[in-house]
A = this chain, B = another copy of it.
């Protein structure tokens, strides 16, 4: 999706259209003009006269925001789990579990809900689910996905967090 350059405030009417359609846009704000305050993350502005590299940097950021509609994993028609250009094959049971987790990506799915999905007529044992979750974890790790445990509630699928949080000397 292309970023539209808009002169402000000359092209105010055109700006309103872009805002309604949700198109990413960069306002070129003339000198001595106060820029509009936009909460919308797909809108930005530069003060004229502006360095061409700065304009390009802001355009690139807006493009990234527009196209990066928070990547979400999916299971395609062939039973492959896809996420960000990568994919992996799943066994039937794993596909059932992954399906339940993908449907509620980022939210908790109860153990019983997952179990009922994989074994509608009743799970073999309590531990069967644990073991399959363990196997699923190992299979999806290379994709940048991880299954996190929420104790006594269930499991949660999310993109792997690049944990840099503890680096205090």
* A residues lining the B interface (CB < 8 Å): 16, 20, 34-35, 37-39, 41, 44, 47, 51, 53-54, 57, 60-61, 64-65, 68, 76, 78-80, 89, 91, 107-108, 142, 150-151, 153-154, 156, 164-165
Contact = CB atoms under 8 A, between A and B. Distances in A.
B35 A54 contact: yes
16 contacts: A20-B164, A34-B57, A37-B60, A39-B64, A39-B68, A76-B107, A78-B108, A78-B150, A78-B153, A78-B156, A80-B108, A89-B150, A89-B151, A89-B153, A91-B151, A142-B165
Contacts of A54: 35, 47
Contact of A38 (B37, B38, B61, B142): B61
Given A37-B61, A47-B51, A47-B54, 6 more contacts: A20-B164, A20-B165, A78-B108, A78-B154, A78-B156, A80-B150
A76 B35 CA distance: 37
Copies of this chain in the oligomer: 2
A153 B108 contact: no
A66 to B, nearest CB: 10
Contacts of A150: 78-80, 89
Q: Which 3 A-B pairs have the closest CB atoms?
A: A78-B108, A41-B41, A89-B150
A143 to B, nearest CB: 10
Nearest to A50: B47
A61 to B, nearest CB: 5
